Amino acid sequence: MKKLTFLLFCVLSTSLAWSQYWPIQKGEKWGFIDSTGKEVVPPIYTEARPFSEGFAAVSVSREGEFTKWYYINDSFQMKIKFGFADALPFQEGLAPVKTYRGWNYVNTAGDLKIKGDYDSAMQFTGGYARVKLNGYWALIDKEGRYIRNPNFTALTDYAERHLGVLHKDGQYWQLTALSGDTLSQDTFAFLGNFVGGWAPAKQDNHYFYINYQGKKTLDPYVEEAWPFYGKYASVKENGFWFLMDKQGRVYRDLQLKFPVNFNSYLTWVELVNGRKGYMNREGEWVYRVG
């Protein structure tokens, strides 16, 4: 469960708005620290997720009841009090929330803005969001209108008029425009999200990076690769995760237990040697456990 929680924490968003507070777990409860590593809220929540756009999703469970999710503001006041079955961070003014009917979207006032009752829903990027309905993925706008119908086994996030798609009857990923026009004749065994103009891709059993034209920008020949967030990307070599810069230099002094995103002032990092905690963009520990 802790591994799943950590991986979800990593992939919730590629561009969380800057926050001055970050969630920490002590025992079975969660609280928050500030940018210096000082505890500002003791561990009182069943679970807590990162702040984004001034709000954080926190869960509270009571004996004999299902866990319910709410949103607090950066003064740690409960602002959206409807008890959701699940809740993700805000992005572009909307947040995916799960009710008993399925996934929908709320605004920062707590109003239900998109009522799609989806199987799954992701955060908005560039005005569009991925949603899953009846087993297939689609792309919607902020009015809930389908821009690409639910005909895909998988989609990437929309980025700068580019979208990676895996058709439900296809075996390979393609790079397309929002309209559906193909932007590159190349196909890929895997295509990840574009961040900063680069995306991880896979062909012939190895990973590399491409630009918006589908051309290779970096070919480090690694086993697995995540997008670049700022200066670094997480890459896998010989079964272990490391950080790599855009020149292809791999920093093997930090052997990571999981891939990480340096998309915030502080980033949660877990090392194979048991050390874990928050690290800043300079690679310095701000809050450490173990």
Q: What is the pLDDT of residues 235-255, one digit of tens each?
A: 999 999 999 999 999 999 999
- Residue 220 φ then ψ, to 5°: -80, -5
Pairing of strands 266-270, 199-203: unpaired
pTM, 2 dp: 0.90
The span from the CA of 260 to the CA of 282, in Å, is: 14
Q: Give the pLDDT of residue 18.
A: 56
Residue 45 lies in a domain: yes
The pLDDT tens digits for 200-235 are 999 988 999 999 999 999 999 899 999 998 889 999
Pairing of strands 250-256, 240-245: antiparallel
Residue 13 lies in a domain: yes
Residue 252 lies in a domain: no
Q: Give the pLDDT of residue 63.
A: 67
Residue 6 lies in a domain: yes
Average pLDDT along the chain, 290 residues, taken 10 residues at a time: 43 54 95 96 96 96 83 96 96 97 98 97 98 98 98 96 91 94 94 96 94 95 93 94 96 94 90 94 87
What is the extent of the structural domain holding 78? 1-124
Look at the chain and report how many structural domains it folds into.
1
The span from the CA of 161 to the CA of 52, in Å, is: 24
Residue 103 lies in a domain: yes
